[in-house]
């Protein structure tokens, strides 16, 4: 069985090592070092990882992340590359389910912050995995958007979302839709059709869960 979480993790770690700690990422204000520290916190610091999603814990999580970011860069990349088996997010039972989309996204966060990037031709299996995740994510990320949204991944499927209003259609490959629906509209290659004002609002919206 393909291990897309592992292959995306390895590719991201290789790229981080090549570019160095100060290279930019798509995440505003974050360097490669910042992103590496985020991933280390997520997998190795369960006491702080909740702050990634829960606002009351964000201050503590950020303090932990900054301390970890001060470690030697080679150590950070090594920890990204080889997560602990005890982690609830990266043990053999959960790794593929939890991390295939996560590491695809963060790999692209680094790739697409560089000049001259282009979309990759993804394996069909990874496209299928990303669409399964994106089809769930899309309904959540777009549930309050004031439009009647149709999101289509040709060859994979479609979903309807939004809370009603003007008709808007978003079309793209599963990987591109995954980036779009996680707030990376600026670097995703999708088609968005609909009234111009609504399309502009969607492209600027803070999407994600």
**Residue 4: half-sphere exposure toward Cβ, Cα within 13 Å:** 21
Given its phi and psi angles, is residue 85 left (phi above 0), alpha (psi -120 to 50 degrees) or beta? alpha
For residues 125 and 119, give the distance between their C-alpha atoms in angstroms, rounded to a whole number: 16
Write down all domains in the chain, each with its CATH number in brackets: 4-112 (no CATH), 124-204 (3.30.1050.20)
For the chain, the helix, strand and coil percentages under 3-state DSSP, each to the nearest 5: 55, 10, 35
Question: Residues 22, 34: contact at Cβ < 8 Å?
Answer: no
Per-10-residue mean pLDDT of the chain, 209 residues long, equals 90 98 96 97 88 79 94 98 93 93 98 95 96 93 96 96 96 97 96 97 88
For residues 154 and 174, give the distance between their C-alpha atoms in angstroms, rounded to a whole number: 9
Task: Give residue for tokens 């900054």.
Answer: 66
């Amino acid at each position: 069985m393909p291990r897309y979480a592992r292959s995306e993790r390895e590719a991201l770690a290789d790229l981080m090592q090549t570019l160095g700690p100060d290279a930019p990422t798509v995440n505003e204000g974050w360097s490669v070092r910042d992103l590496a520290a985020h991933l280390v916190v997520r997998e190795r610091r369960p006491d702080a990882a909740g702050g990634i999603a829960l606002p009351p814990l964000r201050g503590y999580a950020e303090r932990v992340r900054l301390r970890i970011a001060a470690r030697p860069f080679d150590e950070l990349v090594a920890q990204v590359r080889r997560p602990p088996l005890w982690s609830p997010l990266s043990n053999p039972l959960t790794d593929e389910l939890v991390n295939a989309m996560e590491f695809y996204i963060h790999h692209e966060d680094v790739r697409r912050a560089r000049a001259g990037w282009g979309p990759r031709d993804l394996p069909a299996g990874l496209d299928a995995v990303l669409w399964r995740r994106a089809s769930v994510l899309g309904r959540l990320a777009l549930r309050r958007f004031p439009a009647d949204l149709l999101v289509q991944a040709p060859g994979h499927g479609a979903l309807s979302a939004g809370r009603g209003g003007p008709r808007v259609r978003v079309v793209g490959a599963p990987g591109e839709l995954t980036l779009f629906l996680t707030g990376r509209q600026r670097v995703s290659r999708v088609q968005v059709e609909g009234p111009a004002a609504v399309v502009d609002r969607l492209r600027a919206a803070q999407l994600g869960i």
